[in-house]
Amino acid sequence: MRRKKASLKPLASLLATFAVSPCPAADAWVMVSERGMVPTFFAPATVRLRGSVVIVETLVEYPEATGHQPQSVRAVQSIDCDRKEIKITFVMGYRELGGRGAKMFAGKRTNWVPIPPDTPAADLADRVCRSERPNQAELPSPPHNDWELVSEGHDSDFYVNRRLIEVHRSYKEYWLLVNHKTPEPKGAKSTFILLETDCRRQTLRFVNLRLFSGPMGTGEPLKNLAGSGGWLPFQGSSRAGTVAEFVCTQLG
C-alpha cells in the first residue's frame, strides 16, 4: 500500500518556545507519537518546569518529504498541563532527518491555543505532563502481595509490581519500591522510584523519587523529588540495572 505524503499543516498544533539547542544525540530522543506515519519525539534532558508549564524540545520527522519540504522539524514547546494549552514560540525546519542538515525555515511565535485531542500534540502533552512533573505522577496504592521481590541486598530490597508497568513501544515505565532495612539519613524506611527503561537501547532514567517514613511505602511522605531526566546505560552492575534487565526480559 502506498503511503500518503505527510502534510506539514499539523505543525501549527505541534510546536513551541525559544531557539533550539545544539542537536541532542540520536539516543536522547524518545518517541511519543507516530500518528499519520509522522514520528514525533521529545528530549527528556531538555525539559524545564515553570509551575504548571512544561517547556520541552521536540523533533518531528517527515521521511517522505521531497523538494523544498523539510525532512525534520525541531522546536521547543510550552505546554500548560493544567489548562491543556500549547504555544509555539520558535520552530526550525531541516533538510535531513534528526534535525540535521541545512536549515530551511524558521517559524514564528504564536499565542496559547487548546491542545487538539487525538493528535501528536495531545500525545506529547499526556506524556510530559504525566512523567516530567513529579507531582502529577500517580503514586501506587500501598503495596500488597502483588509486589514482587526482584533484588535482595544487605541494606535494602527492591520490588516491582507487574500491574504497574506501562509499555510504550520499546520502553517501559514502572514504579520501583525500595524497602530500606536500615533507615536512610532523612529517616526514610522506603522509597518509591518512577523509572523509564528503554529495553532496546538498554538505558534507563529516573523520573520521580518519593520517600516514606514507614516500610514498604507506608507512613508519612517525607520528600518528593524530580529525577534528572538524563538517560543512563544499565547493566547488572547496579541494583537499578538488575531490576531493569528483569523488567525487560521477564515482564511483558
What is the predicted pLDDT for the residue at 245? 85
Averaged confidence pLDDT in the chain:
78
pLDDT tens per residue across span 138-163: 666 655 668 888 888 888 999 988 88
As given in the structure block, the three cell numbers for residue 247 are 523488567
Mark which of 109, 135, 161 sits at the end of a domain: 135
- Count up the domains in the chain and report the number: 2
Residue 70 falls inside a structural domain:
yes
pLDDT tens per residue across span 52-96: 898 999 999 998 888 888 999 999 999 999 899 999 888 899 999
Task: Determine the structural domain holding residue 169 and report its residue range.
Answer: 137-250
Does this model's pTM top 0.75?
no
Residue 142 falls inside a structural domain:
yes
> CA triplet 16, 18, 19: central angle to 5 degrees?
110
pLDDT(21) > 60: no
pLDDT band at 16 (very low <50, low <70, confident <90, very high): very low
Q: Where are the beta strands (DSSP E) in 64-123?
A: 72-80, 85-96, 100-106, 113-114
Instruction: Please measure the distance between the N-terminal and C-terminal CA atoms of the chain and give it in whole angstroms.
Output: 31
Do 111 and 225 sit in the same domain of this protein? no
Q: Tell me the CATH number at 58.
A: 2.40.128.710
What is the predicted pLDDT for the residue at 198? 84
